[in-house]
Amino acid sequence: MKRWLALSQDWRRVGYAVIAAILLFVLGQAVHPGFLRLNSVATVLVISSFVGLVAAGQCFVILIGGIDLSVPWVLNAAAIMLTVTSLGQEGRAPWAILVTLGLGVLIGAVNGFGVAFLGVPAVVMTLAMDGIMEGLTLGLTGGFTCGACSSYAPPVVQAMAHGASLGFPNALWLWLAVILLVSGALTLTRFGRATYAIGNNPLAAFLAGVSVPGITILLYAASGFFSALAGIMLVGFGGQASLGMGEPYLFQSIAAVVIGGVSILGGRGYYLGAAAGAVSLTVLVSVLLALDMPDYFRSILYGVVILALLLLYGREETG
* Shortest distance in whole angstroms from residue 256 CB to another protein: 11
From 2-10, 51-59, 116-124, 215-223, span contacting another protein (CB under 8 A) = 116-124
| Contact residue for another protein among 26, 31, 136, 289 (CB under 8 A) | 136
* Shortest distance in whole angstroms from residue 15 CB to another protein: 19
- Whichever of 94 and 131 has its CB closer to another protein, that residue is 131
- Whichever of 95 and 117 has its CB closer to another protein, that residue is 117
Q: What gap in Å lies between CA 80 and CA 89, rounded to an integer?
A: 14
Helix (H) or strand (E) holding 73: helix 71-86
* Shortest distance in whole angstroms from residue 287 CB to another protein: 15
Residues whose CB falls within 8 Å of the CB of residue 303, separated by 6 or more in sequence, listed in order: none
160 belongs to the binding site for another protein (CB under 8 A): no
Nearest partner of 73 among 124, 149, 129, judged by Cα: 129
Residues whose CB falls within 8 Å of the CB of residue 316, separated by 6 or more in sequence, listed in order: none
| Contact residue for another protein among 96, 129, 157, 279 (CB under 8 A) | 129
Nearest partner of 221 among 44, 74, 76, judged by Cα: 74
Whether the CB-CB separation of 217 and 52 falls below 8 Å is answered with no
* Shortest distance in whole angstroms from residue 134 CB to another protein: 4
Whether the CB-CB separation of 232 and 100 falls below 8 Å is answered with yes
Beta bridge partners of 164: 169
Between residue 42 and residue 71, which ones bind another protein under the rule CB under 8 A? Answer: 67, 69
Between residue 225 and residue 284, which ones bind another protein under the rule CB under 8 A? Answer: 251, 254-255, 258, 264-265
Nearest partner of 67 among 219, 276, 189, 204, judged by Cα: 219
Give the count of residues interacting with another protein (CB under 8 A). 50
- Whichever of 202 and 236 has its CB closer to another protein, that residue is 202
| Contact residue for another protein among 36, 99, 128, 164 (CB under 8 A) | 128
303 belongs to the binding site for another protein (CB under 8 A): yes
What is the maximum alpha-carbon separation in the chain? 63
**Residue 259: C-alpha distances to residues 15, 273, 284 (Å):** 11, 8, 13
132 belongs to the binding site for another protein (CB under 8 A): yes
Residues whose CB falls within 8 Å of the CB of residue 221, separated by 6 or more in sequence, listed in order: 105, 106, 108, 109, 112
* Shortest distance in whole angstroms from residue 249 CB to another protein: 13
292 belongs to the binding site for another protein (CB under 8 A): no
| Contact residue for another protein among 139, 147, 167, 209 (CB under 8 A) | 139
From 46-54, 91-99, 120-128, 195-203, span contacting another protein (CB under 8 A) = 120-128
Supply angle C-alpha 283, 295, 228, rounded to 5: 55
165 three-class SS: strand
- Whichever of 127 and 185 has its CB closer to another protein, that residue is 127
Which residues would be at the binding site for another protein (CB under 8 A)? 67, 69, 114, 118-121, 123-125, 127-136, 138-139, 142-143, 251, 254-255, 258, 264-265, 294-304, 306-307, 310-311, 314-316, 318-319
